[in-house]
Structure 1
Amino acid sequence: MTVIRIGTRGSTLAMAQTTTVACQLESKTGVETEIIPISTQGDRSTESLSTIGGQGVFANALREALLAGECDVVVHSLKDLPTANVPGLTIAAVPKRADERDVLCARDELTLDTLPAGARVGTGSPRRQAQLRSRRPDLEVVDIRGNIDSRLDKVTNGELDAVILAAAGLARAGRAAAITEYLGISGWPTAPGQGALAIEVRDGDEKLVKVLDHKPSRTKTEAERYVLALLDAGCSAPLGAHAVIDDGLLFLDARVYALDGSRYLTSSHALYVNDVEDPAREAAQRVADELLSQGAGDLTGARA
């Protein structure tokens, strides 16, 4: 293969992410790459994600193009990728993960604690909406869609007082200067896989991008995403998860919220990576079992 065709959404952020992947691939392998922009339903629609089918609407068109042979590789934001496997496709690489934290971008350098009562805060994520309602029930939470620039514009023009976004996305899009507060993971767990990219190929083509795979990032994000899958919840569910590997130990925490922010359930487990065959799945199973025993199914719609 003389040129590797890389499919991606056409948004500014997606193009920036894919350009980085293309440059890394060219640098490490010497191959030539071509970026193929692909339009998705999520990009064309202005309806809420819950209405049009959740975050998976961003991935479907890319996967269809990959299966149809219109490209050789596709790049996803891992947090937007459904957990179910697609026959004929495989995630061949998870590059080193970027900052997984959420951030606040507010007017007048405000933070989440200093926003005045009644301030309007925008986000399209049910998890972030639940977290906002849990931590600051006196705020007005506004369901919004759009790319990074259009969301930040809503703050600049006074339509909103603040928006919640992902630190990694802002950094990749060159808009990190808009951040007024980084939200700590311990009190504000983020979406499974947030901050990471997933590089997907057709079965048998793993060698095209395997050089970009970062094993610790893959293990941590797999653990987080397994919790989502085991709870039988969609990737827009009000669930935050965070995994770290320290001195051979995989630590996994997860928190499931009621949509109205009135309550949440938590679970944390740790195990030695070398003690089990599949540490990510084993840790996730322990966390998911505990959450389900606490009643998480009532919050996520999971089967008991």
Structure 2
Amino acid sequence: MAEIRTLHDAVAELIHDGDTVAMEGFTHLIPYAAAHEVIRQGITDLTLARMTPDVVYDQLIGAGLARKLVFSWGGNPGVGSLHRFRDAVENGWPRPLELDEHSHAGMANRYVAGASKLPFAVLRGYRGSDIPGRTDTVSTVTCPFTGEELAAVAALNPDVTVVHAQQADREGNVQLWGLVGVQKEAVLAARRVLVTVEEVVDALQPRPGGVVLPTWVIDAVAEVPGGAHPSYAAGYSVRDNDFYQAWDAVSRDREAFTAWLETHVHGRREAVAR
């Protein structure tokens, strides 16, 4: 059952050195505030899992907290490369980064297998790709009914999944709506779950297309208005496109990035810890 906690306390309790952590949200509802709290607390040696890692993981990688990235495509959406990510891969700064790369379908199916408590998922994919030769989480399986050879991907069960949503009620039930990705699957696949929300309300109102995460699959809820910035929360905020464009220059330079981190993350401890 979920408890309403401060962001600081929830992160300290649920995320530990060496964990596999999934922070999901597809261009929308990305849990930036939670990631910044991880940086402030210096939680390290993390395996970061995410479909389409973007700026939020660029920041965690640049802060030196990641030892491995499990992902499908990475970039600054609409702008270009993730330069802290590239620096880690190409130059080992601030530390070397191990990669486990997948297709979008492969990552989604890994979460589904994890959520279903199955050891692997089956899909048609990866043919003609060199990815299976570079990871031990892709293999093949022969269909017992047709004899067809299919791709198999190992289940992904994060130690912790972190997502951002619009609302939670006081019992810890959560509702998110608008553009969603694999948040539900990543939550159900995880051993522990932290959800940050725009607001805690007395009762959730049904929304067309809304996804409800029940309190019994969540460990902690933290109220963090604006916790998805610079991404957006439908009904609460809009995407800060200027930030994504400005990030390109900040992230290209190690000193500029370090100064940004000190000012906008370490220097804003009280602003986001609610």
So what's the TM-score if we normalise by structure 1?
A: 0.27
Higher helix share: 1
Q: RCO greater where, 1 or 2, for CA within 8 Å and sep 6 or more?
A: 2
So what's the TM-score if we normalise by structure 2?
A: 0.29
